[in-house]
Structure 1
Amino acid sequence: MEKYSSGLVAESFWFVEFKQLIKLRNEGKSWEEISLLCLNENLLGISKPYRANRIFGYLKNRINVLDERLIQTFLGADLKTQKIINIFAISRKNKLFFEFLYEVYREKVVIGVEELTASDINIFFKNKQAQDETINKWTDVTLKRLRSSYMNFLTDAGLLTNSDKRKLITPAILDITLENYLIDINETQLIKAITGDS
């Protein structure tokens, strides 16, 4: 997770699909078997094979960051916790998104700001452009799509709530099993990022 990537513009939260593939892995299905289900039986509900294959690839990469303990935690967890585990997997695969959670979302929670705005994300990107040549080369269209992706991920995870066109911040209250797991693997920064703990 060294380099910055704009790859999230091509991804969605895909929670239902994420859950479906985790269950199949837990049942002992290989990635090859799951790939064939996606292509031959339209498991993901996507009719175009190339698109189904791409989404399968994204989900496979996302799920591969979860160890067996976290998979079992996911399977036994409530819906809110499962969505937070999906956010964890996304942030584990994307350095910039994790930094956004920690530097922007967490900061808003800590200081008690109730809303996340498009300009908050734009300022974050401007700062990153000044610090990193890769990000500085991204087009305005890419940054706009990324901003939209970030907002959608947080909304789908329950970390933002829509209210009269405003995005209200609703920090997570972590399930104790998940919190203990994150502490055990030294992911305390993620706990702080999504709960606002200082």
Structure 2
Amino acid sequence: MTKQLEYKSTIKSMPYLYIETKKAASLILKGFNDYEIKNMSIKENIFQMKSEARKKEIASITLKRLKSLDEFLLDKLVNGDLETSKQIVIYMIMKTDRLFFEFMSEVYRNKNILREKYITDSDFNVYFQRKCEQSDTVASWKEYTFYKLKQVLTRILFEAGFIKNQKGDKEITIPIVDCDLAQHLKEIGDGIYLEVMLGHKS
């Protein structure tokens, strides 16, 4: 479960990566393994990155996130409609990044439960302060790290269609989740992630 993961700030340089993730997923469905995909990233630059280090990083993070998907979800990611595909990437990030999952659960979902329409700068500040109080790891991060994290979390939600704007107060958009996707998440014991996306109580 996500709550067993360590807090990390690496998401600040590894954001939504929708196009890259979908490309890697399509290669997996075609039968390519991790080694082959990493090799293609370095030698063929399939993710269109400038530096050698970035080619390796993007391949590594997309493949790590994709480990959280079964065949049904992989197929939905590659062949499903755009909204469903983007929601699956959000699900993947929640599954593999504790800081993002807890933000979605404690801020995004709670806003929806309380029928509050906006995520504000104050919400980010309160959330990060709470994490500092809960974790020595988070408390050790520099101010610039929190600045970048706020930017990246905002961009992820915007690119996925979970908020309408990136500037000022962020207006929340509750997604419409495909029935088959919702049912599958419940069946595999991951209903909590569905509840977080939809703003339901657990």
| TM-superposed deviation, 1:175 | 0.5
Distance 2:36 2:79 in 1: 24
Which 5+ residue runs of structure 1 have no aligned equivalent?
A: none
Deviations 1:66-113 (A, max 9, x none): 112211222331101100100111110111211110110011111111
Q: TM-score of the superposition, structure 2-length normalised?
A: 0.93
| TM-superposed deviation, 1:127 | 1.0
Distance 2:139 2:122 in 1: 17
2:118 to 106, 111, 115: 115
1:130 matched to 2:133? The reply is yes
1:145 matched to 2:148? The reply is yes
Distance 1:120 1:166 in 2: 10
Contact 1:102–1:189, Cα closer than 8 Å, also in 2: no
What does residue 35 of structure 1 align with?
38
Which 5+ residue runs of structure 2 have no aligned equivalent?
A: none
Distance 1:74 1:149 in 2: 22
Q: Could you tell me which amino acid in structure 1 is paired with residue 40 of structure 2? A: L
What does residue 177 of structure 2 align with?
174
1:75 matched to 2:78? The reply is yes
RMSD: 1.4
Contact 2:25–2:74, Cα closer than 8 Å, also in 1: yes
1:185 matched to 2:183? The reply is no
Q: Could you tell me which amino acid in structure 1 is paired with residue 189 of structure 2? A: N
Q: Which runs of 4+ in 1 moved over 3 A?
A: 163-166
Distance 2:69 2:41 in 1: 21
For the residue of structure 1 that corresponds to 2:32, the secondary structure is coil
Distance 2:8 2:79 in 1: 32
For the residue of structure 2 that corresponds to 1:160, the secondary structure is coil
Closer, same or farther in 2 for the Cα pair 1:119/1:158, shift >3 Å? same
Distance 1:79 1:107 in 2: 26
1:63 matched to 2:66? The reply is yes
Contact 2:120–2:168, Cα closer than 8 Å, also in 1: no
Q: Percent identity?
A: 29
For the residue of structure 2 that corresponds to 1:12, the secondary structure is coil
Contact 1:39–1:52, Cα closer than 8 Å, also in 2: yes
Q: TM-score of the superposition, structure 1-length normalised?
A: 0.95
Q: Size of the alignment, in residue pairs?
A: 198
